[in-house]
Amino acid sequence: MLWFFLFILWFYLLFVVISDIFMSHDLSGWGKAAWVIFVIVLPLFGVLAYLIFRGDSMHERAARRAASQDREFRDYVRSVSGSSVSGTASPSDELTRLAELRDRGAISDAEFDRMKAKVLA
């Protein structure tokens, strides 16, 4: 059971290191190629060397990627909903969004009138 766990841990570590190599923007193409070759030819020493030399900044790159993905997701939600993520759209913004939905045929005139009454109430 211990060997199986260590085997799975090794593949996870290898996957994390190789994905960090490819997603790192501060490495040139030649640098990425050299690290990948080093990790493939001498896997144990390559992974350990990568963790020693570049491991301290792996969490910083991961945090930047997570923040970027969060920002992209929030921008997408804003664009789809037509309002801010917090839901504090003004009544005029809501009426504009409803008019666009009606013009595209997503809602009927009766639904538009009902929703407009809710926004103006």
pLDDT tens digits in sequence order for the chain, 121 residues long: 999 999 999 999 999 999 999 988 888 999 999 999 999 999 999 999 999 999 888 988 889 889 999 999 988 887 777 655 455 667 888 888 888 889 988 888 898 899 888 888 7
Q: How many CA atoms lie within 13 A of 58 on its CB side?
A: 16
pTM: 0.57
Contacts of 61 (CB under 8 A, 6+ apart): 20, 23, 24, 25
